[in-house]
Structure formats: structure tokens, C-alpha cells
């Protein structure tokens, strides 16, 4: 079964897949997923013939992993740059087996300083590692050196920038949707016979019917080949909104729709080339809303994971599904005409081209059907960006939506965190207060689990004695008792600012530290963390202050009384 659920058709008997590398050994043919072939002639490379053949072999081997001409073009441009680099060396190598570590080090030095260069390093390494002559030895070690991954740009829209982009897209698409909706209603009335024959509306309805069936209004062709729309006065003009634009979106209007969909659903621009028309799912007794099943194709996810489905509900003007409803209405005539001209075609994102005779040279994208084109090209995206005073809006809009939603959308959790959230400058800016508060809390927690008192060389007769330390001022305890004095547990004394520890305390505290270490191996982690972690950390801090050698010596001097008091402390039998 194919990804869309259609049964695969077996090849005819005796069918063999043509190898990508031609018999000449210099031409590689790469067939994309749509079945279109593109050739790459390695005889054009400015290197020796043996090197040309070797590069063609590794290129052909790698091409079996590609599904688009875009991937092949990317590798081809990189191979061209690598070949030019080799040709400019003082002693250019004759073949891949003649490459030296010094050559590859120089290639690395030239390219390591930019993201484009680092990408070239990775691609060339992928190709060269396919040659068995470079599988071991000093050259293989040089190829194995890590190439730093490119850093994500993290560039998303600010709220003001997003509003500006959305406003421009909404104005253009909503105007087109209302225009098409109004003319669709008029066409349906004409087809139903509800218009008075010969009236102005009836005559426009007749033209709309011709437009609906052919993709254009009636035109007169002059001797010089120019074609002019008839009935211009009746239609209100000869421009596209007055003629074929009455039922079809322009490419610019379709791009505005895609911008709105990306802002809502965070879809990649490439999704729009092949997204099928959503289907309404049956609902039991529900009349006020409709749920659409949307199939999203993401080829970069890998074989078997290209397709995912989303259920999107239109329950009102502000619901996510309302944009799907409007998209279906705006593209209805285009989808109907496409299915009539090329049965089986059912793509959502369809527009009527200004110049139907000009075919898109990108064979990875769907082919035009009559005057209709599908999806969003890079040119369309750049033109939208130019009107906004910037570049293509899709990547930044997608980043903005993903960070706004705060969850993975058509990607993994790792990609969400590492590519979309952490590098995002707006997320970083908004997180400063949270990070600052977290750091402050961490400092406070760290301060709470250190020895809070002071070390002294001898006892002070004015200080009160506790089971663990001497107390300099019981009246100012951080843990006052309901009556008078201190209400802290004797172990909490280690964290009090009034605590005073002199050498006479060292043996008992060293033994307490020893006993708590023994408890750690006997208790589960949860109980240990809850009851003993803070006390242990304070003793560790005190041990560092006293010195490990003095602490170890003090443990040996612990008396029977010290052992008894520590056992009572650990059992909780001593009250403050």
C-alpha cells in the first residue's frame, strides 16, 4: 500500500530499474518521487577524468537516498565547488585516491567559518566516505573530524510584526474569498434557473458558467495573437478580479491563504504543494459545527512517516476550522476544474495562473493542470515578503506559532526544544525574569543547606548548649516557639545564624555525619531526600570548613556520650 492508502500497481514483467550512472560513467540521472528525471554531467567538472568518474560514482550511490531534485541540486552545487577547489591546488589530484590530509585540511579551513561552508563540508564528507579507498588511513581520519552543526536562527516575529503580516494576508485573502463567494452564489442561481433570462445578472451568470467549465471568460483572439476578454463593460473591466478572478484565486491570494494557515497550524511551506482537500467527518446529530480530516505530508520525516492526519473543527468565527471552510470555498472552482481536466487531482491549494503557458521548471512541485497551478513556490513567498518589506514569511511565522503554542507541531519534542524554543530570541527575552527568579531561588536553596553559624576556637560561657552546637542568642531564633525561646529541632541548629561550633563539638558532629552516611545506604532515595538531605549537606559544608584531616581525627575521639546523643538524634527521641 502507498502512503495515501492506494494499492500499489506491480511493474510489468521483465521491468528493471535503470541504474543512475550511465554507461559512460560520467552522467548521473536522478529520478524524483514524481517520476521526473534530471541529469548531471560530471564531464563538466574542472578536474581529471578519473576524478570525474569517481565523483560520479559516489554521487550516484548517494542519489538512491534522495526523493527530490532539490537534494540532488544541493549536492551537485557542492561537488562543483569541491572540484573547483581541487583544480586550483598547486598539484591537483588525479583521482579520489590521491587526496591527502593536507588537501582536506585546507578545504576545511576555507569553509569552516560559515554555515554554508560547514554544510558543504558535511555533504562532501558524506560523498567521499562512500569511496572504499577513503575508508581507512589518514584521509579517513580527517574526514571523520566533527563538523559543527549550523546554529538555528531562532528568528520569529514579535507580536507587532506578526500582526502586520497577518493583517496584510487577511486583507488580501478575505477580499478574494468574498469576491469568489459572491460570484459562486450568482453562478448557482444561474444554474438553478433563478435569474430572469436576459437580465444583467443572467448574462454575468452565463459568463461565470463558461468560466467554471473552462477556467477563463470568453475571449476574442486577434491576428497578432493577443486575446481580449469580451463583455468588459458588463464585467466591470478586463483585469483578473473582473474576469477569471471571479471564481479563482490568484497566486498572490493563495500565498496569503498559506500565510494564514501557517500562522494557525504551523505547517511548512512545502506542505501546501501536496495537501489534499480536507474531508468533512461525519458527526452524530451535530449541526452547528463541522470537523475536517486534514492529511499533512512531510517528506523529510522519512519513508513510512510522510503522512499524518489532523482533525480540525469549525465551530464558529474564531475556531481553527473556520479558515479551512473558507479555503475550501475559495478553491472550489479550481479543484472542480482540476479534477475535470486531470481526473484524480484533489489538491486544496490551487490558483489560476496569470500566464498559463509559463511552466514552473521545478519538477519536484506538482505540474500545472491547464491554467491551474498548485501550492506555493519560493518566488510566491519572496514576493509576499517584498510587499511587506522583508523576506519569505513562512519560516518565521512557523517559528512564531510553535513557540506561541508551546508544544511540538509536526515535529519531535527534541526538535521543538532544540530548534524552535531554546534558540528563539523572543523566548529568551521573555524567559529572563523566569530564569532570574529560578537562579535566585537556587541561591536561596543553596544557602539554606550550608552551615549557617560560625566556627570558634573555644566555648563561650554565655552561650547556651544544645545537642549539636552552642546557641549565641536563643531569643532571635529563625524558628521561634509559640511561647518563648527557640522551637527548632536540634539538627536544624546547624542552619541557624546563632550557631557556634568549637573543637569540642567536632567529635560528636563527625560521628553524626558518619551515621547519616550509613542511613543513606539503608533508606530509599525519597525518604533520604525528605528527612536527611539538608542536614547532611550542612554537615558536609561544616566538614569542609573544619578540614577533612581534622574531621577524620575528631571522629576517632567521639565518646560514648557522643554516640548515645547521636543515636537519639537520628531516632528523633531528642526534643528541642
State the DSSP string of 59-89. HHHHHTT--SHHHHHHHHHHHHHHHHHHHTS
Residues 235-253: what's their mean pLDDT?
Answer: 93
Is residue 437 in some structural domain?
A: no
Strands 454-455 and 499-501, bridge-based pairing: parallel
The reply to whether 405 and 464 lie within a common domain is: no
Using CA of residue 345, residue 347, residue 350, residue 356, what is the dihedral sign?
Answer: negative
Q: Edge to edge, what strands does the sheet with 307-314 contain?
A: 279-281, 290-297, 307-314
Is residue 5's pLDDT more than 50?
Answer: no
On whether residue 13 sits in a domain, the answer given is no
The verdict on 208 and 349 lying in the same domain is yes
Question: What is the residue range of 101's domain?
Answer: 27-143
Q: Once rounded to an integer, what is the mean pLDDT over residues 518-524? A: 81
Q: Are residues 187 and 68 in the same domain?
A: no
Residues 118 and 182 in one domain: no
Residue written as grid cell 547556651: 464
d(CA 553, CA 468): 18
Q: Is residue 35 part of a domain?
A: yes
Q: Judge if 467 and 553 occupy the same domain.
A: yes
Does residue 47 belong to any structural domain of this protein?
Answer: yes
Q: 332: which 3 cell numbers?
A: 472550489
- Do both 558 and 512 map to the same domain? yes
Q: Tell which of 143, 173, 197 closes a domain.
A: 143
| Domain end position, chosen among 143, 178, 209 | 143
pLDDT computed for residue 428 by the predictor: 58
Q: Is residue 85 part of a domain?
A: yes
**How does pLDDT run across 92-134, given as a tens digit for each residue?**
999 999 999 999 999 999 999 888 899 999 999 999 999 999 9
Q: Specify the pTM.
A: 0.67
Question: CB-based contacts of 435: which residues, under 8 Å, 6+ apart?
Answer: none
- For the segment 413-425, the average pLDDT, to the nearest whole number, is 59
130 and 167 together in one domain: no
Contact, 311 vs 281, CB < 8 A?
yes
Q: At 156, is the pLDDT very low, low, confident or very high (cuts 50, 70, 90)?
A: confident
Nearest in space to 19 (alpha carbons), one of 54, 75, 59, 52: 59
| 251 and 390 part of one domain | yes
Q: To the nearest 10°, the Cα dihedral for 476, 477, 479, 480?
A: -50
Q: What pLDDT is attached to residue 3?
A: 44
Long-range contacts of 418-421 (CB under 8 A, 24+ apart): 418/152, 419/152, 420/152
Spatial CB neighbours of 183, under 8 Å, sequence gap ≥ 6:
208, 246, 247
Domain count, the chain: 3
Same domain assignment for residues 33 and 136: yes
pLDDT-derived band at 484, boundaries 50, 70, 90: confident
In this structure, the answer to whether residues 542 and 482 fall within a common structural domain is yes
- Report d(CA 280, CA 288) in Å as an integer: 13
pLDDT digits (tens, 9 = 90+) for 332-365: 999 999 999 999 999 999 999 988 767 667 888 8
Which triple of cell numbers denotes residue 421?
Answer: 524554543
Distance CA 372, CA 448 (A): 70
Identify the domain boundary among 112, 143, 174: 143
Domain contains 184 = yes
Cβ-based burial of 439 (10 A; exposed 0-12, middle 13-18, buried ≥19): exposed
Mean pLDDT of 52-71: 92
> Is residue 149 a part of any domain in this protein?
no
Q: Any idea which of 2-11, 267-276, 295-304 has the lowest mean pLDDT?
A: 2-11
463 & 388 share domain: no
Q: Is residue 441 part of a domain?
A: no
Q: Do both 500 and 471 map to the same domain?
A: yes
The pair phi, psi for residue 145, each rounded to 5°, is -60, 140
Amino acid at each position: 500500500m502507498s502512503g495515501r492508502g492506494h494499492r500499489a500497481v506491480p511493474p510489468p514483467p521483465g521491468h528493471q530499474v535503470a541504474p543512475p550512472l550511465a554507461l559512460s560513467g560520467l552522467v548521473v540521472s536522478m529520478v524524483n518521487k514524481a517520476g521526473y528525471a534530471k541529469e548531471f554531467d560530471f564531464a563538466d567538472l574542472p578536474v581529471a577524468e578519473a576524478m570525474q568518474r569517481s565523483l560520479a560514482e559516489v554521487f550516484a550511490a548517494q542519489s538512491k537516498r534522495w526523493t527530490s531534485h532539490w537534494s540532488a541540486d544541493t549536492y551537485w552545487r557542492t561537488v562543483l565547488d569541491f572540484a573547483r577547489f581541487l583544480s586550483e591546488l598547486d598539484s591537483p589530484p588525479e583521482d579520489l585516491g590521491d587526496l591527502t590530509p593536507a588537501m582536506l585540511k585546507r578545504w576545511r579551513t576555507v569553509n569552516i567559518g560559515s554555515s554554508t561552508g560547514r554544510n558543504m563540508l558535511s555533504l562532501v564528507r558524506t560523498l567521499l566516505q562512500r569511496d572504499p579507498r577513503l575508508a581507512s588511513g589518514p584521509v579517513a581520519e580527517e574526514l571523520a573530524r566533527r563538523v559543527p552543526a549550523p546554529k538555528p536562527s531562532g528568528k520569529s516575529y514579535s507580536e507587532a510584526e506578526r500582526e502586520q503580516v497577518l493583517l496584510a494576508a487577511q486583507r488580501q485573502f478575505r477580499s478574494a474569498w468574498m469576491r469568489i463567494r459572491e460570484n459562486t452564489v450568482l453562478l448557482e442561481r444561474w444554474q438553478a434557473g433563478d435569474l430572469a433570462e436576459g437580465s444583467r445578472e443572467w448574462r454575468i451568470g452565463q459568463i461565470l458558467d463558461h468560466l467554471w467549465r473552462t477556467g477563463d471568460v470568453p475571449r476574442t483572439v486577434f491576428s497578432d495573437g493577443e486575446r481580449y476578454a469580451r463583455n468588459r463593460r458588463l464585467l466591470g473591466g478586463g483585469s483578473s478580479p473582473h474576469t477569471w478572478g471571479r471564481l479563482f484565486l490568484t497566486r498572490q491570494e493563495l500565498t496569503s491563504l498559506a500565510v494564514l494557515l501557517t500562522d494557525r497550524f504551523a505547517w511548512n511551506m512545502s506542505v501546501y504543494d501536496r495537501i489534499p482537500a480536507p474531508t468533512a467527518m461525519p458527526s452524530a446529530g451535530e449541526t452547528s459545527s463541522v470537523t475536517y480530516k486534514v492529511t499533512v505530508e512531510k517528506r523529510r520525516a522519512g519513508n513510512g512517516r510522510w503522512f499524518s492526519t489532523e482533525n480540525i473543527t469549525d465551530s464558529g468565527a474564531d475556531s481553527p476550522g473556520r479558515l479551512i471552510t473558507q479555503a475550501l470555498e475559495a478553491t472550489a472552482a479550481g479543484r472542480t476544474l482540476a479534477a475535470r481536466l486531470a481526473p484524480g487531482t484533489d489538491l486544496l491549494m490551487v490558483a489560476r495562473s496569470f500566464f498559463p503557458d509559463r511552466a514552473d521548471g521545478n519538477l519536484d512541485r506538482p505540474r500545472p493542470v491547464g491554467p491551474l497551478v498548485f501550492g506555493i513556490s519560493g518566488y510566491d513567498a519572496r514576493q509576499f515578503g517584498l510587499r511587506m518589506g522583508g523576506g519569505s514569511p513562512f519560516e518565521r511565522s512557523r517559528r512564531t506559532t510553535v513557540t506561541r503554542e508551546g508544544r511540538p507541531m509536526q515535529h519531535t519534542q527534541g526538535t521543538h526544544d532544540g530548534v524552535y524554543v531554546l534558540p528563539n530570541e523572543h523566548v529568551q527575552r521573555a524567559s529572563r525574569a523566569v530564569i532570574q527568579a529560578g537562579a535566585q531561588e537556587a541561591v536561596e536553596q543553596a544557602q539554606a543547606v550550608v552551615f549557617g553559624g560560625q566556627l570558634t576556637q573555644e566555648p563561650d560561657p554565655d552561650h547556651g548548649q544544645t545537642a549539636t552546637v552552642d546557641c549565641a542568642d536563643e531569643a532571635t531564633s529563625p524558628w521561634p516557639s509559640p511561647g518563648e525561646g527557640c522551637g527548632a529541632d536540634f539538627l536544624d541548629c546547624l542552619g541557624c545564624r546563632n550557631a557556634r561550633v568549637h573543637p569540642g563539638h567536632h567529635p560528636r558532629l563527625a560521628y553524626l555525619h558518619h551515621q547519616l552516611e550509613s542511613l543513606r545506604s539503608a533508606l530509599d532515595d525519597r525518604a533520604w531526600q525528605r528527612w536527611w538531605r539538608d542536614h547532611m549537606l550542612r554537615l558536609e559544608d561544616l566538614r569542609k570548613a573544619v578540614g577533612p584531616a581534622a574531621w577524620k581525627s575528631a571522629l576517632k575521639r567521639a565518646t560514648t556520650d557522643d554516640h548515645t546523643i547521636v543515636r537519639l538524634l537520628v531516632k528523633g527521641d531528642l526534643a528541642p
